[in-house]
Chains A and B, each alone.
Chain A
Amino acid sequence: QKEVEQDPGPLSVPEGAIVSLNCTYSNSAFQYFMWYRQYSRKGPELLMYTYSSGNKEDGRFTAQVDKSSKYISLFIRDSQPSDSATYLCAMRTGNQFYFGTGTSLTVIP
């Protein structure tokens, strides 16, 4: 079993839709949770981070962590074509990050 599981998609939505991206994990030692966005042929770009359970909002993005269920989510409101990218969840314990495989998102104008 992988440390972090993420549905690879692809996910295709119309512009303006609410997007929900999810990851599950097995290691209860994870404390820091992040979402990265990666455009084609580019390095990952940090979008949001949260510590432990709870919600965090930043503009159109909301990150949720439910440690009891070992489940994290990223919601994108009013999705835009520029949001089309691969979204990677990442989790940290010790000095290492563990990444999901990424979900490919396309927002259709």
Chain B
Amino acid sequence: DTGVSQNPRHKITKRGQNVTFRCDPISEHNRLYWYRQTLGQGPEFLTYFQNEAQLEKSRLLSDRFSAERPKGSFSTLEIQRTEQGDSAMYLCASSLGTGAYGYTFGSGTRLTVV
């Protein structure tokens, strides 16, 4: 297992299109997190899963955003009707248990909405 894997690495899309990102966490990690990071800012929490259950969602996660983790393994994050303000790095992280001592992050998916 080589860590948290995210695909695609980069995505350029036209405004109004839907996009979907995938995250494969470290296999034994039961918690999976999605964060968004814009240039010059720290990561901002979006949502997290414990196994297949989505336990918390940030108010940043508008109705256009949906995340799933159907079998408690990989997760997808979908953005519908993308807007230019959605342009950011979308980071996935995973942890075993509560992750009290930090998460393992993937390299992120960089989204550009044109």
Contact = CB atoms under 8 A, between A and B. Distances in A.
Interface in B39-57: 40-45, 48, 55-56
A100 B100 contact: no
Contacts, number: 58
Contacts of B55: 95
B91 A43 contact: yes
Interface in B52-109: 55-56, 91, 93, 98, 100-108
Given A41-B110, A44-B91, A44-B105, A92 B100 contact: yes
Given A42-B108, A43-B107, A43-B108, A97 B45 contact: yes
Contacts of A49: 101-102
Interface residues of B, number: 24
Contact of A34 (B98, B101, B108, B110): B101
Contacts of A99: 42-44
A17 interface: no
Contacts of A6: 42
Interface in A1-29: 4, 6, 8
Interface residues of A, number: 25
Interface of B: 4, 6, 40-45, 48, 55-56, 91, 93, 98, 100-108, 110
